[in-house]
């Protein structure tokens, strides 16, 4: 290589590292600053730095790809550069992303996506759209990686058109409020096609996706916050399906005192299940997932004596903790992620059942409930079920009833298990008999007697005698009981060879 050629290469490298017009990063961190925050200092190794370097204005062709480390663990990175043609994808942009995903598949590396892209580059549509190494190959690789390695997305700007599926195929998506958006068509295109007038924030903004569609897991105010959350999340996840989640030094729970009325005996009284979770898990370890969506169900990662567990809990303070269409989907996706990455599951039950009525039946509550039950039933990881209070109807099944082989079914003294609350069961079974009793006192006495009979069947001593529950535990002993049972299950292994995978309800 001549000295002039060397100079050309050096100049091209400088242009790439310097980047395009800094004004395009208004209210955003430049892409290289994002990578600096994500990775351990000095660990970034970049590929394809000179992609499209012979064309002015296309540094790295709008995407940075490479590997680095987070707390010493090697990861793969895709980071879009919005200052280069709005982070749009051309032929080489796709090729760079495909190559790093192929390496992640080969080397079993977790993948971090720092997404900020307006979608396909229409001036290069033959490059990004129809071919074997175009955008469809990226999505094919993401699907192939799903359940093999963690895929974590921080969404800093737009994720438009077909490119919106890149976050959708990830295990977790954090969005920056005011900057991030996901949409298949812009408001302008939507108006042309449907006549509907809307705004980008209403149709694809961070808050909408975190609260309504469920496509986002959390909303953040600034770029650095979502990157920090991404780094924290990977500390709960293994490098791949073939390894265990990393342990951490054990810590006592955030709150150790357990007030007598923390879980009210009255099954109709609300309380916040997060007050129970903070008394069970290691202090500061609960990483809630989809906290703003389908809030009648709480899901998240936590630690028990330093070991990672997944928590699936009904939330009695929201719609009585009943399971709706969205909360069934929320639970099934979370359960599947935990099972993929070898994370034991703890179910905290306080559920009146699945929601009933015309509206939810039209939405497909049976189909969505079946999806949750299928995910839970097919999970090989150790499962533990805790009856906090009520465990009624098919909600008891979906939250890991004994028939689904939890390692243990534990109950607090406030627990009650049955097809429905005793008073409702009496009214269902004896409706005609009750209606035929004319005397009010006689009717009340009959109902009280039948209710006592039903409650006797739901009595925890009876449930323990019939091996429905393995132990009735005082609230103050629940954490230590779970820790001992988790330790006893440490040598678990997967059921091998019985099938490839289930055909999940749609």
Check residue 56 and report its DSSP letter.
T
How far is Cα 455 from Cα 421, in angstroms, rounded to an integer? 8
User: What domains are there in the chain, each with its CATH number?
Assistant: 15-235 (3.90.226.10), 273-418+459-489 (3.90.226.10)
Among 243, 247, 249, residue whose Cα is nearest residue 307: 247
Please give the pLDDT value at position 283: 98
Q: What is the pLDDT of residues 382-408, one digit of tens each?
A: 999 999 999 999 999 999 999 999 999
The answer on pLDDT for 502 being more than 80 is no
Lowest model confidence (mean pLDDT) among 22-36, 80-94, 150-164, 297-311: 22-36
pLDDT confidence band for 5 (50 / 70 / 90): low
Q: Which residue has the higher pLDDT, 315 or 502?
A: 315
Name the 3-class secondary structure at 178. Answer: coil
Residue of 203 and 102 predicted with greater confidence: 102
Q: How far is CA 350 from CA 264, 281, 287, 367, 464, in A?
A: 11, 18, 21, 22, 18
Full-model pTM: 0.93
Percent of the chain with pLDDT over 90: 69
Backbone angles phi, psi at 156, to 5 degrees: -100, -20
């Amino acid at each position: 290589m001549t000295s002039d050629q060397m100079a050309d290469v050096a100049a091209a490298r400088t242009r790439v590292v310097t980047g395009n017009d800094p004004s395009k990063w208004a209210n955003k961190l430049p892409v290289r600053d994002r990578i600096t925050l994500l990775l351990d200092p000095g660990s970034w190794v970049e590929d394809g730095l000179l992609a499209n370097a012979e064309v002015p204005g296309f540094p790295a062709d709008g995407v940075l790809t490479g590997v680095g480390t987070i707390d010493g663990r090697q990861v793969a990175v895709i980071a879009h550069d919005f200052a280069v043609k709005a982070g749009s994808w051309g032929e080489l942009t796709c090729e760079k992303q495909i190559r790093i995903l192929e390496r992640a598949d080969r080397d079993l590396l977790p993948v971090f996506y720092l997404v900020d892209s307006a979608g396909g580059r229409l001036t290069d549509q033959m490059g990004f759209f129809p071919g074997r190494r175009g955008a469809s190959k990226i999505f094919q690789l993401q699907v192939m990686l799903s359940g093999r390695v963690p895929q974590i997305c921080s969404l800093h700007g737009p994720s438009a058109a077909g490119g919106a599926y890149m976050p959708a195929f990830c295990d977790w998506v954090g969005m920056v409020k005011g900057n991030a958006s996901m949409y298949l068509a812009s408001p302008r295109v939507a108006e042309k096609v449907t006549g509907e007038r809307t705004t980008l924030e209403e149709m694809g903004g961070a808050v909408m996706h975190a609260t309504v569609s469920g496509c986002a897991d959390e909303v953040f105010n600034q770029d650095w916050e979502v990157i920090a959350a991404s780094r924290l999340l990977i500390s709960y996840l293994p490098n791949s399906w073939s390894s265990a989640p990393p342990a951490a030094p054990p810590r006592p729970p955030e709150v150790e005192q357990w007030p007598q009325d923390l879980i009210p005996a009255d099954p109709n009284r609300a309380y916040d299940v997060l007050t129970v979770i903070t008394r069970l898990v290691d202090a500061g370890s609960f990483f809630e997932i989809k906290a703003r969506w389908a809030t009648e169900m709480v899901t998240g990662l936590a630690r028990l004596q330093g070991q990672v567990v997944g928590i699936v809990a009904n939330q009695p303070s929201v719609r009585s903790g009943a399971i709706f269409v969205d909360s069934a989907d929320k639970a099934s996706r979370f359960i599947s992620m935990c099972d993929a990455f070898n994370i034991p599951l703890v179910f905290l039950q306080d559920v009146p059942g699945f929601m009933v009525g015309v509206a939810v039946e039209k939405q497909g509550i049976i189909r969505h409930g079946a999806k949750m039950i299928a995910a839970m039933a097919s999970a090989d990881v150790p499962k533990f079920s805790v009856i906090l209070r009520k465990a009624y109807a098919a909600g008891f099944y979906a939250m890991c009833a004994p028939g689904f082989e939890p390692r243990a079914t534990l109950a607090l003294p406030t627990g009650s298990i049955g097809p429905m609350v005793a008073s409702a069961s009496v009214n269902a079974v004896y409706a005609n008999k009750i209606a035929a009793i004319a005397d009010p006192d006689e009717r009340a006495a009959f109902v009280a007697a039948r209710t006592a009979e039903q409650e006797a069947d739901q009595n925890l001593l009876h449930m323990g005698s019939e091996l429905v529950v393995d132990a009735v535990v005082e609230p103050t002993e629940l954490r230590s009981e779970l820790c001992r049972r988790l330790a006893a299950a440490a040598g678990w292994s997967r059921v091998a060879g019985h099938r490839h995978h289930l055909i999940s309800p749609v």
